[in-house]
Structure 1
């Protein structure tokens, strides 16, 4: 029998994986295109997954995560259309995976 904890852990992992796919495909800083390792954005993905779990995904919260890592001059902060697109994609991921 699967425990509630196992169900939540699986959900978190699936949500985190989906968030990671969105971030890596967006590659907001262009680091993956420059040859950075696939886990380059792992800490940001973890933070964004936490926001998704708390249902606190807004452009402002996504940008705050990003600026903690890359500073106020990050590509994401300089390209509002990219921020909007990334936030919308993350919201869609969250909507597709309601909490168990």
Structure 2
């Protein structure tokens, strides 16, 4: 089961409804039944002492990144970003902070 943290829901609310709905559909479709996709990559950020998963959404008019990780066999989505902002220093700091709160 995929759980979307409140912060990730807030991220989704920043997008237009149609875009947010497409993102949710992709999250459910690609993550709900387990992760076995070429679009998923393990992200390692030694500077922040962080390792997490990233789902790359680059089809159906989307160019977004979904950050998620596991805890106690549950999958938690903790950040949803447009590609343009997904890899900034500020974003990485915020995402790692969220990851630590799972």
Q: What TM-score comes out, normalization by structure 2 length?
A: 0.37
Instruction: Give the structure with the higher percent strand.
Output: 2
**Which structure is higher in RCO with an 8 Å CA cutoff and minimum separation 6?**
1
Larger Rg: 1
Q: What TM-score comes out, normalization by structure 1 length?
A: 0.38
